[in-house]
Amino acid sequence: MLRELTEQFKKEEKAGYSVPYLDRSDNFGAIAKNMVSQLRQDIREQNITVMYQPLAGMDNQVVGAEALLRWSFAGERVYPPLVIALAKEDNCYSLLTKLIMEEAAAAAGRLAEELDPSFRISVNISAEQLNDPDFIKESIELVERRGVRGNITLEMTEETGLGEFSLISRHIEMLRDKGVTISIDDFSMGQTSLDYLRNNLFSLVKLDGGLVNQAKDNSRCRGIISSITALGRSLDFQVLAECVETEELKEIMAELGCRYFQGFLISPAVPLEEFKPIYEKSKK
């Protein structure tokens, strides 16, 4: 049933809409309720796995990592966006994010000490959290407590209705004052993104993997990417291509102006103890 639920969720995700599962009275609703019950227990017991996918420059040298949730239910790995959607629906997303951030901050401190003092780990958050003064306060306290000023990036997927511009801007400035940078994922050239980029609030834009993978055969996609990287040069933000799996695709991204990439070409997400050898190999 988990497989069927995942397939249904992916169909809805691709179509651009979401349907609540916890209020349903069918099999999907039953398994969703069991999943969030287990998820809440695992959060309480800090039984959440976080893995780290390298971010690399076009010279293949690893420069950072993204902290990625990996959670299993009934012995099966669950599609991460489904976990996030259920956590949001059950109102335990903030607890899940807090736990992931604690893990990532500890890892950032260790990697900064062992590899590079400027090493950064990015953590995914929601747009709503940048609106939340308590989240901002807790994030700053975490950075100070863990001693990772300059080692954490908060990564937010672009959404419409991010909130009051002046409030978001103030929160981002507060974070930046403590060395926490903000990146935006799945970038599109909508007015919301342009408002934030124009005011120099994001340091990195990550291109959606679907757009990146179409660039090989689609001149329009290449034109879009080239325009975004040109915008980056003008507005002083970097551009990273996601889901890069071949050397050919990496070269195309480099030609279009991307400075960084992420994907299986460099490495999938790995446990923290496996990350250091990947980093060291990339520096040779």
- What's the confidence (pLDDT) of residue 194? 65
Q: In the prediction, which pLDDT does 163 show? A: 60
* The pLDDT of residue 184: 87
b/e burial code for range 24-63 (CB count within 10 A of at least 16 → b): eeeebeebbbebbebbeebbeeeebebbbbbbbbbeeebb
Taking the alpha carbons of 276, 208, 229, 236 in that order, is the dihedral positive or negative?
A: negative
Q: Identify the pLDDT of residue 235.
A: 86
**Exposed e or buried b for every residue in 3-22, given b needs 16+ CB within 10 A?**
eebeeebeeeeeeeeeeebe
Dist CA 17 CA 69 (whole Å)? 22
Quick one: pLDDT at residue 186? Answer: 77
Q: What is the pLDDT of residue 13?
A: 86
Asked if residues 8 and 21 have their Cβ atoms less than 8 Å apart, the reply is no
**Torsion over CA: 226, 231, 232, 234 (sign):** positive
* pLDDT score for 150: 96
Q: Rounded distance, CA 262 to CA 62, Å?
A: 10
Domains and CATH numbers, the chain: 49-73+91-282 (3.20.20.450)
How far apart, in whole angstroms, are the C-alpha atoms of residue 136 and residue 171? Answer: 7
Residue 15's pLDDT is what? 85
CA torsion angle for 147, 266, 229, 183 (degrees, to 10)?
-30
Phi, psi of 269 (to 5 degrees): -65, 135
Alpha-carbon span 143 to 151, nearest angstrom: 9
Q: From residue 200, how far is each of 36, 147, 235, 282 by CA, in Å?
A: 38, 25, 7, 31
Within its chain, how far is the Cα of 284 from the centroid? 27
pLDDT (0 to 100) of residue 159: 58
The pLDDT of residue 128 is 86
pLDDT recorded at residue 124? 95
Going by C-alpha positions, the residue among 188, 192, 154, 186 that lies closest to residue 172 is: 154
User: Helical H runs in 115-246?
Assistant: 127-130, 133-146, 165-177, 191-198, 209-214, 219-235
pLDDT of residue 70: 96
Give the integer Cα–Cα distance in Å for 155 and 149: 16
Q: At what angle do helices 133-146 and 93-114 cross, to 10 degrees?
A: 30
Cα separation, 2 vs 5, in Å, equals: 5
CA distances from 165 to 127, 143, 172 (A): 12, 24, 10
Q: Which parts of the chain sit beneath pLDDT 70?
A: 158-165, 188-196, 198, 200
